[in-house]
Chain A
């Protein structure tokens, strides 16, 4: 047996003015799940605690709650001492019981033709992963777009694709329906996928597939078509407005000291065209830390803006050009500093080389300690870094070496998935939510590690938004200044 302390959300809308938390201590068996802690509380301490469950085996989706803030099934998640258990972010009936039915009632349902036909095997293989949804609504609880836009949500989109793919459905144009129900408001932040107990990759396997079907029907948003045209014509997803990083960059940057590693640098459209100075800052930091950087000029857009918006017909050309550019130089490690490009190269490409984000490279090979700056900073997790690449600790490890870090919740800033270009008002509303969280931290600057996030957030907050490597560089410069001063004075 083990002792578990749990902090549980309590609220009876009929009796209480506002929710409160109650602390409980119960004895449960080794390996007990969150559900067993709730049952122990109910059976032994407080029978008024309300929670919902049924199958106890992860198959019915009745028992989803938030455990330490993360949605999950109470019957499957292991109980941890000191955990906080709260309801999903949905209308509360009582305590941990939320009202699922209004949401479930809005899910699109099949209108069958009425023939007992069987889809072919290829279709079945596409449909199966979409069918494993247990409608636990964890994804709805975390979807940022649903908070600010008219969007039916991740699992509704999953269902729309299921219907669009099923030859037995005669419910009309499901793709058009999905578009009108907010298909283009999804920022591909992947929060839905990461909390899904059935691991359904809704952004990649449903949203992007629906957007590709929408593309075939000519429903792609005009701004997205514009981006696709640009990529096709220039190899880049943004218009050249000034000298780019690649135009000025040397073919190879040798480090100051001994070579710890050699990487090929995949710069990405944003750092190349919009934020070249940030990329140059990063090169300085790499140079100082023994990383030799090779920069192939012929690299092009990674294709992410096309994949996210369902315009995939030109993709293979881009992939080939990029892979060739690095393979030609016999590069075995490609470094990305754009979270979007990194995620795309890692997840949408099959590369003969390893892809590493700059935060991974710097923490793996270690950095010279910078001087500390007297600044309080908060860090914005880029979705495509945190969820797309599973990189959470590395940027924090770097940041805390140079400034004081105040954490804030990891929420999407609104710039991804083509939302910033296609649905600017949705992107702005999401950024506003981000701004509020930034404000709460009292930080003087915002640090991030993605050009889209940096660019977008800087338009919606009065705090400076800096790249991880830029503040590292500042720390180095401060160190050099101090050193120089010290030399002069001595």
Chain B
């Protein structure tokens, strides 16, 4: 007979809520999905943070790619995206992205978004890396924030029930179908939501790295939750290192310095004052794709041409002051806070873990491989291939947010309940934390260092194997929650460990260098276009790498 221990007894019975569509995540993709789903029936949006303040969308600075001009075309945007993604992208998803990005931009404008405009009253666009045409729409350098404010305003006019500050524990699967999710509120009580269709929009997870641009919610929850429920993930090894993160002060390292700085004309120089990008990509220089620029900066630093703080210089002092003040106000403000006037002196930058291109495998309609589960935004894989172009992520949130929300909304009503068993299983998982030993913060610190050192920009099988061993060890430690309010932290750490495992396993599966994934121990006779490999895939039941048969 199972005897309930003391803390277990203190648990209050779960409150079960019911809806047609459950959306998990309150960034750009989640809110867009919820807005769309609300037209089909009762929709609940669960947010780990205060809805509208969480995720990485409000932090996204540079812009939103959309074909808006006569001289540009979807075909060119498609070509840029495929090339930038080293042709690992799912072509159908890319076709949808480029075709629908302008329509979703119109939605935002319809709902009140204030983008920068030209004198001719058109949405202004600027150049970003890897583009054949300057097609990045922007609102200064707070584009994501502008979108988020607009989306939250729109959300407020729908009937969506927003539940903030609930940490999702797991999806509930009954007879092979997702029927909702269980979460934890701030007090550590279990919250259950039953749904006909569930949309995962939890964003990315580069918080698993020591140096990261992600908000505190970028802990890979959706990858882990989806994987545990049985969904298949692809290309998890594809982690984008943004070339320009802050390097000091220590606690601000990794903070995003937008690509718009280079888009506006900022140049990169090493400690010797050389404009080194001329060496790595003589044509596009600073506006090469992120994988190329990141490797270039990392190489300069590794070869001893870095600054005292371990970075390189990013300089805009040659630009007119007014241009910096108007187009890069957030950058200016943030650096001033840290004692640097970017109008007068160069910034110091180094690569920082930014975006996970891999994620849940989706159909063009946002369906995952698991019935009842839909996904959109950074938690999905396939759209960006092996390297994402700057400005394509915000577009992705809107295009696939709408699609996933719509598909979930169209899902048939079902008469299923969340069984007691699922709740009991979670209660049991949680009760272990209350009797644990190791503080979550200790585990996180070790994980981040291990990932940065062993699964960063440059990778080898040996380092990856070693990292996998460290993660396995960390995963075996009994996490401690001092009070019920700390239970969520333990669950988050487990999600981070699982996400890291998926990244490293993916990196071992892909024995080639491609896009953001650089294997120093592999000599290959092919380039991206002639690679024999397709997606890596991982699920509870199978893992491997697809091979491509070329004519």
Within 8 Å by CB of B107, from A48, A57, A111, A116, lies A116
Grouping DSSP codes into helix (H, G, I), strand (E, B) and loop, the B interface class, with mixed when no group exceeds half, is loop
Within 8 Å by CB of B114, from A50, A104, A119, A135, lies A119
B460 at the interface (CB under 8 A from A): no
13 A–B pairs (Cβ distance < 8 Å), ordered by A: A54-B53, A56-B215, A56-B216, A57-B215, A60-B54, A62-B49, A104-B50, A110-B112, A116-B107, A118-B121, A131-B149, A166-B112, A168-B112
> Which of chain A's residues has its CB closest to B246's CB?
A57
Q: Is the CB of A121 within 8 A of B157?
A: no
Q: Is the CB of B53 within 8 A of A62?
A: yes
Q: Is the CB of A58 within 8 A of B334?
A: yes
Q: Which of B58, B107, B146 has the most CB of A within 10 A?
A: B58
Q: Is the CB of B114 within 8 A of A127?
A: yes
Q: Is the CB of A55 within 8 A of B50?
A: no
Q: Is the CB of A31 within 8 A of B110?
A: no
Alpha-carbon gap, A62 to B123, bound state (A): 30
Q: Is the CB of A31 within 8 A of B248?
A: yes
A393 at the interface (CB under 8 A from B): no
Alpha-carbon gap, A52 to B216, bound state (A): 10
Alpha-carbon gap, A198 to B337, bound state (A): 12
A contact residues, total (Cβ < 8 Å): 54
Residues of A contacting B164 in the complex (Cβ-Cβ under 8 angstroms): 101
Q: Which of A30, A31, A105, A111 has the most CB of B within 10 A?
A: A31
A277 at the interface (CB under 8 A from B): no
Q: Is the CB of A29 within 8 A of B145?
A: no
Q: Which of A110, A114, A127 has the most CB of B within 10 A?
A: A110
Q: How far is the CB of B449 from chain A (nearest CB, A)?
A: 15
Q: How far is the CB of A132 from chain B (nearest CB, A)?
A: 6
Residues of B contacting A134 in the complex (Cβ-Cβ under 8 angstroms): 58, 145
- Given the known interface contacts A58-B337, A100-B50, the answer about A128 and B216 at a Cβ–Cβ threshold of 8 Å is no
B441 at the interface (CB under 8 A from A): yes
B5 at the interface (CB under 8 A from A): no
> Which of chain B's residues has its CB closest to A108's CB?
B153
B320 at the interface (CB under 8 A from A): no
| Chain B positions 117-163 with a Cβ under 8 Å from a chain A Cβ | 117-119, 121-123, 139-140, 142, 145-146, 149, 153, 156-157
Alpha-carbon gap, A53 to B330, bound state (A): 19
| Chain A positions 184-214 with a Cβ under 8 Å from a chain B Cβ | 198-199
Residues of B contacting A47 in the complex (Cβ-Cβ under 8 angstroms): 439, 482-483, 486, 489
What 0/1 readout, one digit per residue, does chain B (182-218) give for beta carbons within 8 Å of chain A? 0000100000000000000000000000000001110
Alpha-carbon gap, A61 to B164, bound state (A): 15
A43 at the interface (CB under 8 A from B): yes
Residues of B contacting A128 in the complex (Cβ-Cβ under 8 angstroms): 114, 116, 139-140
Q: Is the CB of A118 within 8 A of B112?
A: no
A36 at the interface (CB under 8 A from B): yes
Within 8 Å by CB of B249, from A32, A48, A62, A119, lies A32
B252 at the interface (CB under 8 A from A): yes
Within 8 Å by CB of A33, from B50, B186, B251, lies B251
Residues of A contacting B114 in the complex (Cβ-Cβ under 8 angstroms): 119, 124, 127-128, 131, 166
- Given the known interface contacts A31-B251, A124-B114, the answer about A59 and B109 at a Cβ–Cβ threshold of 8 Å is no
A404 at the interface (CB under 8 A from B): no
Residues of B contacting A59 in the complex (Cβ-Cβ under 8 angstroms): 58-59, 142, 145, 330
B115 at the interface (CB under 8 A from A): yes
Residues of A contacting B252 in the complex (Cβ-Cβ under 8 angstroms): 31, 33
Q: How far is the CB of A101 from chain B (nearest CB, A)?
A: 7
Alpha-carbon gap, A110 to B166, bound state (A): 27
Q: Is the CB of B215 within 8 A of A112?
A: no
- The interface of chain A, by Cβ under 8 A from chain B, is 28-33, 36, 42-44, 47-48, 50, 52-62, 76, 93, 100-101, 104-105, 109-112, 114-121, 124, 127-128, 131-132, 134-135, 166, 168-169, 198-199
Q: Which of B59, B216, B256 has the most CB of A within 10 A?
A: B216
- The interface of chain B, by Cβ under 8 A from chain A, is 49-50, 52-54, 56, 58-59, 106-107, 109-112, 114-119, 121-123, 139-140, 142, 145-146, 149, 153, 156-157, 164, 186, 215-217, 248-252, 255-256, 329-330, 333-334, 337-338, 439, 441, 482-483, 485-486, 489
Residues of A contacting B338 in the complex (Cβ-Cβ under 8 angstroms): 31
- Given the known interface contacts A55-B59, A110-B112, A118-B123, the answer about A61 and B251 at a Cβ–Cβ threshold of 8 Å is no
Alpha-carbon gap, A47 to B116, bound state (A): 44
Q: Is the CB of A121 within 8 A of B441?
A: no
Alpha-carbon gap, A29 to B146, bound state (A): 33
Alpha-carbon gap, A166 to B333, bound state (A): 26
Q: Is the CB of A131 within 8 A of B485?
A: no
> Which of chain B's residues has its CB closest to A197's CB?
B333
Alpha-carbon gap, A117 to B255, bound state (A): 34
Alpha-carbon gap, A114 to B439, bound state (A): 51
Within 8 Å by CB of A54, from B106, B142, B217, B330, lies B217
Q: How far is the CB of A419 from chain B (nearest CB, A)?
A: 30
Alpha-carbon gap, A93 to B185, bound state (A): 13
> Which of chain A's residues has its CB closest to B48's CB?
A54
- Which 9 pairs between the two chains have the least Cβ-Cβ distance? A31-B249, A43-B441, A116-B106, A29-B250, A60-B53, A110-B112, A55-B215, A116-B109, A116-B110
Residues of A contacting B111 in the complex (Cβ-Cβ under 8 angstroms): 110, 112
Q: Which of A32, A116, A127, A168 has the most CB of B within 10 A?
A: A116
Q: Which of A50, A59, A115, A124 has the most CB of B within 10 A?
A: A59
Q: How far is the CB of A138 from chain B (nearest CB, A)?
A: 14
Alpha-carbon gap, A54 to B58, bound state (A): 10
Q: How far is the CB of B342 from chain A (nearest CB, A)?
A: 15
Residues of A contacting B334 in the complex (Cβ-Cβ under 8 angstroms): 57-58, 76
Alpha-carbon gap, A58 to B337, bound state (A): 10
Q: How far is the CB of A214 from chain B (nearest CB, A)?
A: 22
Residues of B contacting A55 in the complex (Cβ-Cβ under 8 angstroms): 53, 56, 58-59, 215-216
> Which of chain B's residues has its CB closest to A31's CB?
B249
> Which of chain A's residues has its CB closest to B442's CB?
A43
Alpha-carbon gap, A59 to B147, bound state (A): 13
Q: Is the CB of A121 within 8 A of B119?
A: yes
Residues of A contacting B157 in the complex (Cβ-Cβ under 8 angstroms): 109, 111
Residues of A contacting B56 in the complex (Cβ-Cβ under 8 angstroms): 55
Q: Is the CB of B142 within 8 A of A132?
A: yes
> Which of chain B's residues has its CB closest to A48's CB?
B483
Q: How far is the CB of B480 from chain A (nearest CB, A)?
A: 9
Alpha-carbon gap, A47 to B252, bound state (A): 22
Q: Is the CB of B110 within 8 A of A115?
A: yes
Alpha-carbon gap, A47 to B436, bound state (A): 14
Residues of A contacting B145 in the complex (Cβ-Cβ under 8 angstroms): 59, 132, 134
Q: Is the CB of B54 within 8 A of A54?
A: yes
Q: How far is the CB of B160 from chain A (nearest CB, A)?
A: 13
Residues of B contacting A120 in the complex (Cβ-Cβ under 8 angstroms): 117, 121
Q: Which of A93, A104, A115 has the most CB of B within 10 A?
A: A104
Residues of B contacting A121 in the complex (Cβ-Cβ under 8 angstroms): 117-119, 121
Known interface pairs A58-B330, A59-B142, A124-B115; 18 further A-B residue pairs with C-beta atoms within 8 A, sorted by A's residue number: A29-B250, A36-B251, A43-B439, A48-B486, A52-B50, A54-B54, A55-B215, A57-B59, A57-B255, A58-B333, A60-B54, A62-B50, A109-B153, A110-B112, A118-B117, A121-B119, A128-B139, A168-B112
Residues of B contacting A119 in the complex (Cβ-Cβ under 8 angstroms): 114, 117
Residues of B contacting A93 in the complex (Cβ-Cβ under 8 angstroms): 186
Q: Is the CB of A76 within 8 A of B337?
A: yes
Q: Is the CB of A48 within 8 A of B485?
A: yes
> Which of chain B's residues has its CB closest to A134's CB?
B145
Residues of A contacting B216 in the complex (Cβ-Cβ under 8 angstroms): 53-56
Residues of A contacting B149 in the complex (Cβ-Cβ under 8 angstroms): 131
> Which of chain B's residues has its CB closest to A60's CB?
B53
Q: How far is the CB of B545 from chain A (nearest CB, A)?
A: 35
Q: How far is the CB of B215 from chain A (nearest CB, A)?
A: 4
Residues of A contacting B251 in the complex (Cβ-Cβ under 8 angstroms): 28-29, 31-33, 36
